Structure 1
Amino acid sequence: MSIDPLSWLDSYAAERVDAGLRRNLRVREPVSTAIDLASNDYLGLAKHPDVVDGAIASVRRWGTGATGSRLVTGTTAEHAQLEDELAEFVGAASGLVFASGYAANLGVVTALAGREDLVVSDAGSHASLVDACRLSRARVAVAPHRDVAAVERLLGERVEARALVLTDSVFSADGDLAPLVELHRVCRAAGALLVVDEAHGLGVRGLGGRGLVHEVGLAGEPDVIVTATLSKAFAAQGGVVLADARVRAHLIDAARSFIFDTGLAPAAVGAARAALALLRRDPAMAGRVLERATAIADVARAAGVDVPAPESAVVSVVLGEAQVAFDAAQACRARGLDVGCFRPPSVPAGTSRLRLTARANLTSAELDVIADVLGDVLAGAREAVSA
């Protein structure tokens, strides 16, 4: 008798369809007439000529791939330049570039925490930090979202000698900010390291986009480790750890996602350097992101949806059930507005939403279209919820 070892996938898929949670890949065209409120291209630099030229120049100089791990053949002079430029920009002592932001978070946590240690993570931390906790084999305690008192209590109750506290600076689903100053205070009192993922803060928050850590005065503190991605505001690919030089040296020795991964491709390095140079020349880009986010939030509120004042590029429009959010996203796309749709497990059950992301280069004409489309769609979504 033959048994199909994949038969369970059919029932699993059917359950996800019934729950409105089935995910599908949507192939996009290189040129689109739709207005983009779905991507993380916060500064609108993904197709900027300088950024494209930066990528091309790096490919012509170094080739298409890094050719090996950073420790074998994958480190170029341009990797080192990018690390120095990013560290100087955010006020850190040193930087280390990884192949992705996900890899950077895995590398930091697993290299700095092990079986004899405690890791305290915010309940809203990104999936990469969640996976890093699991891989570290440390004892993991999850603190309620933005609950400094809970973090302080968990650190005070610990029996482990070493501890890490993990948080996003800007949380990706809601766009709210971590209480970094307060977290740092309790970490320092307890002798713990604070690891802050600036994926959604770098390029948007802080002086000229230097990030929330810089904004609140914690840049360069030896007990603060910053991770970030180059795939959002910097319109490229890759990740970086910005920290004390001792941390950098330890990661080169011990971070498996650095040691055993191929180095970041030259094109991404060149693109990220060009994007950083553009931000330096026009630091007001960061402020324009927040201005556009405020305008988008105003539209949602005018349509009767309770949306808090945005603190980042992310405007989270909670609609409730997964199918309602999915239908609203489809209705937006049908009218030329690309939006993000976050459903479980990305967000808790009953909080499915449209995740709208502002860009620095959204025009007034585009904002007018957004107001028309989003206003109509959200009004329809509210009717669907009340029906």
Structure 2
Amino acid sequence: MRELITEELKRLEVGNLKRSLIVIEGPQGPRVRINGNPKILLCSNDYLGLANHPRLKEAAIRAIEKYGVGAGASRLVSGTMPPHALLEERIAAFKGAQAALLFNSGYHANLGVITAIAGRTADIFSDKLNHASIIDACVLSRANLTRYPNGDIFALESLLKRSKAKNKLIVTDGVFSMDGSIAPIDGLITLLDRYNAFMYLDDAHATGVLGKTGRGTLEHFNIEHPSVIQMGTLGKALGAFGAFVAGSKELIALLVSKSRPFIFTTALPPAICAAATEAIDIIEAEPERRTRLWENIEFFKDGLKAAGLDYTKSATQIIPIITKDPNYTMQASRRLLEKGVFIQGIRPPTVPAGASRLRVTVSSTHTKEDLTEALTKIIEVLGDGR
């Protein structure tokens, strides 16, 4: 076994595909320290700057003092506490759903829901750019899986027309995590009633960001539909940890009884739930955070456009600068880190061959000075693309 592991590590290293960890010395923020040196952070999912917010920390501390550190058991044994129930109520109201259920990560949520609602007799139609956890969940469900071209409503409809299954499930990200593009939910939604299908919407990168009040992709398109199951995460714009699924009361009851990742794992710490509840309160009370985020997004994209750098079809805070070659991409990432800008390089298998990129994520807490300095360094490293 050791020889096999060593051989595989060498193979990864030769292809410049071996991963490593970088330690952030301190809390998330627009600027952080790595090896004692300050860096502009442009690869965090802390989109609204809540991960180090005083109110979230105070809420977590109060919950620890009242409920302790760990939940002690799974939710179905003795791990359900008032902070869990309160957060689920707040999420349901925030997402405009009848009920919600917490999961320990977005990965857990996708595995837990898709495998619970789609079995061998179901047909799943999954966007080709969906997150890896969705792909894994679809495979584990043992349903008949078909992947349709990214955002291609006509191709999807053609597939739905041929489906004979009673249980048809369309699965899509709201915001695609590597491209930053938004799924055409307004078009996809028209297929649900026409073909008696359901939709599973992974809103991990949209929750707190998209929509007039930050409620996500459905609000962005001004859509309400009972056949849409919404998943979201607590560790991105909400600054905490974990995930949730929002939908009908019947769906949540089914998941409590059938979702293996929910049933067979220790519940989220109550302090995390308290912090996430506080985050929802802040998101609802401080819309200016989203305003600043979108101002920063446009400012940064304008800088890239002026330099002739390709940021593809990004429509959100996820801004990929396409660099194609994985070796060049990782060299550029290292050079930027040396110059004081932390942007992770993304390469296969996370993205297809020839599509490596520097994946920038912008936060509401970045100043124009932060972004201008980062743009200057990016242009120094990548050159002017014009």
TM-score w.r.t. the length of structure 1 is 0.94
Residue 337 (1) aligns with residue 341 (2): yes
* CA–CA distance in structure 1, aligned partners of residues 140 and 308 of structure 2: 43
Task: Name the structure 2 match of 1:107.
Answer: 112
**Structure 2 letter corresponding to 1:124:** L
* CA–CA distance in structure 2, aligned partners of residues 288 and 92 of structure 1: 28
Task: Name the structure 2 match of 1:188.
Answer: 193
User: Gapped runs of 5+ residues in structure 1?
Assistant: none
Which residue, out of 6, 15, 40, partners 1:10?
6
* CA–CA distance in structure 2, aligned partners of residues 308 and 344 of structure 1: 17
* CA–CA distance in structure 1, aligned partners of residues 87 and 276 of structure 2: 8
Which residue, out of 115, 131, 141, partners 1:136?
141
* CA–CA distance in structure 1, aligned partners of residues 182 and 372 of structure 2: 28
Task: Name the structure 1 match of 2:154.
Answer: 149
Task: Name the structure 2 match of 1:69.
Answer: 74
Q: Which stretch shows the higher mean deviation, 27-36 or 236-245?
A: 27-36
Residue pairs, 1:1-387, within 5 angstroms: 5-30=1-26, 32=33, 33-219=38-224, 221-308=225-312, 310-379=314-383
1:105 Cα offset (Å): 0.9
* CA–CA distance in structure 1, aligned partners of residues 284 and 91 of structure 2: 11
Indicate if the aligned counterparts of 1:300 and 1:378 stay in contact, CA closer than 8 A.
no
Secondary structure at the residue paired with 1:250? Answer: helix
**Structure 1 letter corresponding to 2:345:** C
* CA–CA distance in structure 1, aligned partners of residues 70 and 168 of structure 2: 37
**Structure 1 letter corresponding to 2:44:** S
* CA–CA distance in structure 1, aligned partners of residues 342 and 238 of structure 2: 20
User: Gapped runs of 5+ residues in structure 2?
Assistant: 27-31
* CA–CA distance in structure 2, aligned partners of residues 345 and 92 of structure 1: 35
Q: After superposition, give the CA deviation of every residue in 1:38-95 in whole Å (9 maximum; x if it has no partner).
A: 1100001111111111111111111111111111111111111111111111211211
Indicate if the aligned counterparts of 2:180 and 2:319 stay in contact, CA closer than 8 A.
yes
* CA–CA distance in structure 2, aligned partners of residues 226 and 364 of structure 1: 34
TM-score w.r.t. the length of structure 2 is 0.94
* CA–CA distance in structure 2, aligned partners of residues 344 and 194 of structure 1: 28
Indicate if the aligned counterparts of 2:179 and 2:312 stay in contact, CA closer than 8 A.
no
* CA–CA distance in structure 2, aligned partners of residues 153 and 84 of structure 1: 39
1:252 Cα offset (Å): 0.7
Indicate if the aligned counterparts of 2:312 and 2:321 stay in contact, CA closer than 8 A.
no
Q: 1:173 to 1:198 in 2, by over 3 A?
A: same
Indicate if the aligned counterparts of 1:174 and 1:315 stay in contact, CA closer than 8 A.
yes
**Structure 2 letter corresponding to 1:333:** L
1:167 Cα offset (Å): 0.3
Indicate if the aligned counterparts of 1:297 and 1:310 stay in contact, CA closer than 8 A.
no
**Structure 2 letter corresponding to 1:299:** G
Indicate if the aligned counterparts of 1:303 and 1:378 stay in contact, CA closer than 8 A.
no
* CA–CA distance in structure 2, aligned partners of residues 114 and 230 of structure 1: 28
Indicate if the aligned counterparts of 2:59 and 2:275 stay in contact, CA closer than 8 A.
yes
* CA–CA distance in structure 2, aligned partners of residues 60 and 378 of structure 1: 50
Q: After superposition, give the CA deviation of every residue in 1:191-212 in whole Å (9 maximum; x if it has no partner).
A: 1110000000011100121101
* CA–CA distance in structure 1, aligned partners of residues 270 and 380 of structure 2: 44
Q: Which stretch shows the higher mean deviation, 174-183 or 7-16?
A: 7-16
Q: After superposition, give the CA deviation of every residue in 1:188-244 in whole Å (9 maximum; x if it has no partner).
A: 21111100000000111001211011221333x210000011010001111100111
1:6 Cα offset (Å): 2.7
Paired residues, what number?
A: 377
Secondary structure at the residue paired with 1:135? Answer: helix
**Structure 1 letter corresponding to 2:289:** M
Indicate if the aligned counterparts of 1:294 and 1:309 stay in contact, CA closer than 8 A.
no
Secondary structure at the residue paired with 2:344? Answer: strand
Identity rate of aligned residues, in percent? Answer: 37
CA RMSD of aligned residues (A): 1.5
Q: Which stretch shows the higher mean deviation, 198-207 or 72-81?
A: 72-81
Q: After superposition, give the CA deviation of every residue in 1:81-112 in whole Å (9 maximum; x if it has no partner).
A: 11111111121121111111111111110110
